[in-house]
Structure 1
Amino acid sequence: MSAAPELPLWASLTVSFFLIAGALIALTGSIGLHRLPDFYSRLHAPSLGATLGTGSILIGSIICFSVLQTRFMVHEVLIALFVTITTPVTMMLLARASLYRDRVEGNPAAPERDPEPTEL
Protein backbone atom coordinates (compact mmCIF):
# COMPACT_ATOMS: atom_id res chain seq x y z
CA MET A 1 0.00 0.00 0.00
CA SER A 2 1.32 3.42 -0.92
CA ALA A 3 1.29 6.35 1.49
CA ALA A 4 1.18 8.84 -1.40
CA PRO A 5 -2.22 10.40 -2.13
CA GLU A 6 -3.77 9.61 -5.48
CA LEU A 7 -4.22 12.21 -8.18
CA PRO A 8 -7.24 12.10 -10.48
CA LEU A 9 -6.50 10.65 -13.90
CA TRP A 10 -6.76 14.00 -15.71
CA ALA A 11 -4.28 15.58 -13.29
CA SER A 12 -1.87 12.65 -13.53
CA LEU A 13 -1.83 12.80 -17.32
CA THR A 14 -1.41 16.58 -17.38
CA VAL A 15 1.38 16.53 -14.79
CA SER A 16 3.11 13.67 -16.62
CA PHE A 17 2.93 15.59 -19.91
CA PHE A 18 4.50 18.74 -18.42
CA LEU A 19 7.21 16.79 -16.57
CA ILE A 20 8.22 14.83 -19.66
CA ALA A 21 8.09 17.93 -21.87
CA GLY A 22 10.24 19.89 -19.38
CA ALA A 23 12.73 17.06 -19.11
CA LEU A 24 13.01 16.79 -22.91
CA ILE A 25 13.50 20.54 -23.29
CA ALA A 26 16.19 20.52 -20.61
CA LEU A 27 17.83 17.53 -22.32
CA THR A 28 17.79 19.41 -25.63
CA GLY A 29 19.54 22.35 -23.95
CA SER A 30 22.16 20.00 -22.50
CA ILE A 31 22.79 18.36 -25.86
CA GLY A 32 23.07 21.80 -27.46
CA LEU A 33 25.64 22.79 -24.86
CA HIS A 34 27.68 19.71 -25.72
CA ARG A 35 27.34 19.82 -29.52
CA LEU A 36 27.65 23.49 -30.46
CA PRO A 37 31.13 24.54 -31.58
CA ASP A 38 32.10 27.63 -29.58
CA PHE A 39 31.25 29.59 -26.45
CA TYR A 40 29.09 32.18 -28.18
CA SER A 41 26.97 29.51 -29.88
CA ARG A 42 26.67 27.53 -26.67
CA LEU A 43 25.07 30.36 -24.71
CA HIS A 44 21.63 30.03 -26.27
CA ALA A 45 20.86 26.33 -25.78
CA PRO A 46 21.29 26.10 -21.98
CA SER A 47 19.38 29.30 -21.31
CA LEU A 48 16.50 28.01 -23.43
CA GLY A 49 16.62 24.64 -21.69
CA ALA A 50 16.79 26.16 -18.25
CA THR A 51 13.98 28.65 -18.78
CA LEU A 52 11.49 26.56 -20.77
CA GLY A 53 12.38 23.21 -19.22
CA THR A 54 12.12 24.51 -15.68
CA GLY A 55 8.93 26.36 -16.59
CA SER A 56 7.27 23.19 -17.87
CA ILE A 57 8.31 21.21 -14.80
CA LEU A 58 7.02 23.97 -12.56
CA ILE A 59 3.66 24.02 -14.37
CA GLY A 60 3.38 20.28 -13.70
CA SER A 61 4.26 20.87 -10.06
CA ILE A 62 1.68 23.66 -9.74
CA ILE A 63 -1.05 21.39 -11.13
CA CYS A 64 -0.06 18.46 -8.94
CA PHE A 65 0.09 20.28 -5.63
CA SER A 66 -2.88 22.52 -6.39
CA VAL A 67 -5.05 19.44 -6.99
CA LEU A 68 -3.71 17.63 -3.91
CA GLN A 69 -4.12 20.56 -1.55
CA THR A 70 -7.22 22.06 -3.24
CA ARG A 71 -5.69 25.53 -3.32
CA PHE A 72 -3.42 27.40 -5.73
CA MET A 73 0.30 27.04 -4.95
CA VAL A 74 2.30 30.27 -5.13
CA HIS A 75 5.76 28.85 -4.38
CA GLU A 76 6.26 27.50 -7.89
CA VAL A 77 5.15 30.79 -9.44
CA LEU A 78 7.86 32.60 -7.49
CA ILE A 79 10.46 30.03 -8.56
CA ALA A 80 9.41 30.42 -12.21
CA LEU A 81 9.59 34.20 -11.92
CA PHE A 82 13.11 34.12 -10.49
CA VAL A 83 14.36 31.57 -13.05
CA THR A 84 12.81 33.53 -15.92
CA ILE A 85 14.48 36.74 -14.77
CA THR A 86 17.88 35.46 -13.69
CA THR A 87 18.76 32.98 -16.46
CA PRO A 88 18.79 35.43 -19.41
CA VAL A 89 20.53 38.11 -17.33
CA THR A 90 23.23 35.64 -16.29
CA MET A 91 23.78 34.49 -19.87
CA MET A 92 23.99 38.10 -21.08
CA LEU A 93 26.59 38.95 -18.43
CA LEU A 94 28.63 35.85 -19.30
CA ALA A 95 28.54 36.78 -22.99
CA ARG A 96 29.62 40.36 -22.35
CA ALA A 97 32.46 39.30 -20.04
CA SER A 98 33.70 36.75 -22.57
CA LEU A 99 33.40 39.22 -25.44
CA TYR A 100 35.38 41.82 -23.53
CA ARG A 101 38.08 39.29 -22.60
CA ASP A 102 38.35 37.98 -26.15
CA ARG A 103 38.62 41.48 -27.63
CA VAL A 104 41.29 42.54 -25.13
CA GLU A 105 43.31 39.38 -25.81
CA GLY A 106 42.85 39.76 -29.59
CA ASN A 107 41.13 36.40 -30.00
CA PRO A 108 39.99 36.06 -33.64
CA ALA A 109 36.90 34.07 -32.56
CA ALA A 110 35.40 37.19 -30.99
CA PRO A 111 32.72 38.89 -33.09
CA GLU A 112 33.76 42.22 -34.56
CA ARG A 113 32.51 45.48 -33.16
CA ASP A 114 29.56 47.10 -34.85
CA PRO A 115 30.63 50.06 -36.97
CA GLU A 116 29.83 53.47 -35.54
CA PRO A 117 26.59 54.89 -36.94
CA THR A 118 27.01 57.75 -39.34
CA GLU A 119 24.82 60.80 -39.34
CA LEU A 120 22.75 61.51 -42.41
Structure 2
Amino acid sequence: MHVLVEALVAGLILIGAFFLLVGALGLARLPDLMRRLHGPTKATTLGIGALLIASMVYFAAVRGSFSIHELLITLFLFLTAPVSAHMLAKAHILLTPQERDRLPPTGTPSGWATLDDGHGEAGK
Protein backbone atom coordinates (compact mmCIF):
# COMPACT_ATOMS: atom_id res chain seq x y z
CA MET A 1 0.00 0.00 0.00
CA HIS A 2 1.23 3.48 -0.88
CA VAL A 3 2.57 5.72 1.88
CA LEU A 4 0.12 8.54 1.06
CA VAL A 5 -2.85 6.19 1.37
CA GLU A 6 -1.55 4.95 4.72
CA ALA A 7 -1.11 8.54 5.91
CA LEU A 8 -4.63 9.43 4.76
CA VAL A 9 -6.13 6.42 6.55
CA ALA A 10 -4.13 7.15 9.72
CA GLY A 11 -5.19 10.81 9.62
CA LEU A 12 -8.85 9.91 9.19
CA ILE A 13 -8.63 7.44 12.08
CA LEU A 14 -7.04 10.08 14.33
CA ILE A 15 -9.63 12.68 13.35
CA GLY A 16 -12.44 10.18 13.94
CA ALA A 17 -11.03 9.15 17.32
CA PHE A 18 -10.70 12.80 18.36
CA PHE A 19 -14.32 13.59 17.47
CA LEU A 20 -15.53 10.43 19.21
CA LEU A 21 -13.64 11.42 22.36
CA VAL A 22 -15.07 14.95 22.28
CA GLY A 23 -18.59 13.59 21.73
CA ALA A 24 -18.27 11.08 24.55
CA LEU A 25 -16.95 13.75 26.92
CA GLY A 26 -19.80 16.05 25.92
CA LEU A 27 -22.33 13.32 26.58
CA ALA A 28 -20.84 12.54 29.98
CA ARG A 29 -20.04 16.05 31.20
CA LEU A 30 -22.73 18.42 29.96
CA PRO A 31 -25.36 19.29 32.57
CA ASP A 32 -28.77 18.64 30.98
CA LEU A 33 -30.46 16.66 28.22
CA MET A 34 -30.74 19.48 25.71
CA ARG A 35 -27.01 20.16 25.84
CA ARG A 36 -26.10 16.47 25.99
CA LEU A 37 -27.78 15.91 22.63
CA HIS A 38 -24.97 17.78 20.89
CA GLY A 39 -22.27 15.29 21.89
CA PRO A 40 -23.63 12.20 20.19
CA THR A 41 -25.34 13.96 17.30
CA LYS A 42 -22.61 16.33 16.20
CA ALA A 43 -19.19 15.18 17.28
CA THR A 44 -19.62 11.42 17.31
CA THR A 45 -21.42 11.49 13.97
CA LEU A 46 -18.37 13.18 12.47
CA GLY A 47 -16.09 10.74 14.28
CA ILE A 48 -17.87 7.63 13.02
CA GLY A 49 -18.08 9.20 9.56
CA ALA A 50 -14.31 9.73 9.49
CA LEU A 51 -13.66 6.16 10.66
CA LEU A 52 -15.98 4.73 8.03
CA ILE A 53 -14.36 6.81 5.29
CA ALA A 54 -10.96 5.60 6.50
CA SER A 55 -12.24 2.03 6.22
CA MET A 56 -13.48 2.72 2.68
CA VAL A 57 -10.12 4.16 1.62
CA TYR A 58 -8.18 1.32 3.23
CA PHE A 59 -10.18 -1.49 1.67
CA ALA A 60 -10.23 0.27 -1.69
CA ALA A 61 -6.42 0.41 -1.58
CA VAL A 62 -5.98 -3.19 -0.33
CA ARG A 63 -8.61 -4.96 -2.44
CA GLY A 64 -8.59 -2.61 -5.37
CA SER A 65 -12.39 -2.43 -5.40
CA PHE A 66 -14.80 0.08 -3.96
CA SER A 67 -17.08 -1.10 -1.13
CA ILE A 68 -20.44 0.59 -0.81
CA HIS A 69 -21.24 -0.75 2.68
CA GLU A 70 -19.32 1.91 4.61
CA LEU A 71 -20.77 4.65 2.45
CA LEU A 72 -24.31 3.42 3.12
CA ILE A 73 -23.66 3.23 6.87
CA THR A 74 -22.27 6.79 6.82
CA LEU A 75 -25.25 8.06 4.84
CA PHE A 76 -27.70 6.32 7.18
CA LEU A 77 -25.93 7.75 10.22
CA PHE A 78 -25.88 11.29 8.85
CA LEU A 79 -29.61 11.05 8.11
CA THR A 80 -30.82 9.41 11.32
CA ALA A 81 -28.75 11.16 14.02
CA PRO A 82 -30.18 14.66 13.47
CA VAL A 83 -33.74 13.33 13.13
CA SER A 84 -33.51 11.32 16.36
CA ALA A 85 -31.96 14.29 18.21
CA HIS A 86 -34.75 16.54 16.96
CA MET A 87 -37.38 14.06 18.14
CA LEU A 88 -35.71 13.74 21.56
CA ALA A 89 -35.55 17.52 21.92
CA LYS A 90 -39.22 17.91 20.96
CA ALA A 91 -40.24 15.20 23.45
CA HIS A 92 -38.18 16.88 26.17
CA ILE A 93 -39.84 20.24 25.46
CA LEU A 94 -43.26 18.60 25.43
CA LEU A 95 -42.76 16.78 28.73
CA THR A 96 -40.91 19.51 30.68
CA PRO A 97 -43.05 22.57 31.52
CA GLN A 98 -40.04 24.52 32.87
CA GLU A 99 -38.33 24.25 29.48
CA ARG A 100 -41.45 25.45 27.63
CA ASP A 101 -41.72 28.51 29.86
CA ARG A 102 -38.13 29.55 29.09
CA LEU A 103 -38.53 29.36 25.30
CA PRO A 104 -39.44 32.41 23.20
CA PRO A 105 -42.92 32.47 21.63
CA THR A 106 -43.28 30.77 18.25
CA GLY A 107 -46.06 32.95 16.90
CA THR A 108 -48.25 29.91 16.30
CA PRO A 109 -50.96 28.47 18.53
CA SER A 110 -49.31 25.05 18.64
CA GLY A 111 -46.18 26.17 20.54
CA TRP A 112 -42.78 24.51 20.30
CA ALA A 113 -43.85 20.91 20.74
CA THR A 114 -46.11 19.29 18.18
CA LEU A 115 -48.81 18.18 20.61
CA ASP A 116 -48.71 21.32 22.72
CA ASP A 117 -51.94 23.34 22.59
CA GLY A 118 -50.12 26.51 23.63
CA HIS A 119 -51.40 26.44 27.21
CA GLY A 120 -49.03 23.85 28.65
CA GLU A 121 -51.49 20.99 28.41
CA ALA A 122 -50.04 18.41 26.05
CA GLY A 123 -52.19 15.84 24.33
CA LYS A 124 -55.40 16.49 26.31
Which protein, 1 or 2, shows the higher relative CO under an 8 Å CA cutoff with sep ≥ 6? 1
Same fold (TM over 0.5): yes
Given the two structures, how large is their TM-score scaled by the length of structure 2?
0.78
Asked if 1:75 corresponds to 2:66, the answer is no
- How far is 1:59 from its partner? 1.1
Count of residues in Structure 1 that have an aligned counterpart in Structure 2: 107
- The aligned amino acid for 1:112 is L
Whether contact under 8 Å (2:24, 2:44) holds in the other structure is no
- The aligned amino acid for 2:72 is L
- The aligned amino acid for 2:35 is S
Asked if 1:99 corresponds to 2:93, the answer is yes
Given the two structures, how large is their TM-score scaled by the length of structure 1?
0.81
Report the secondary structure of 2:26's partner residue. Answer: helix
Asked if 1:56 corresponds to 2:47, the answer is no
Instruction: Give runs of aligned pairs for residues 16-95 of structure 1, distance below 5 A.
Output: 16-95=10-89
Report the secondary structure of 1:71's partner residue. Answer: coil
- How far is 1:46 from its partner? 1.4
- Could you say what the CA RMSD is over the residues aligned between the two structures, in angstroms? 1.6
Report the secondary structure of 1:114's partner residue. Answer: coil
- How far is 1:116 from its partner? 2.2
Whether contact under 8 Å (1:47, 1:88) holds in the other structure is yes
Identity of paired residues, percent?
Answer: 34
Structure 1 portions without partners, runs of 5+: 1-6
Asked if 1:112 corresponds to 2:106, the answer is no
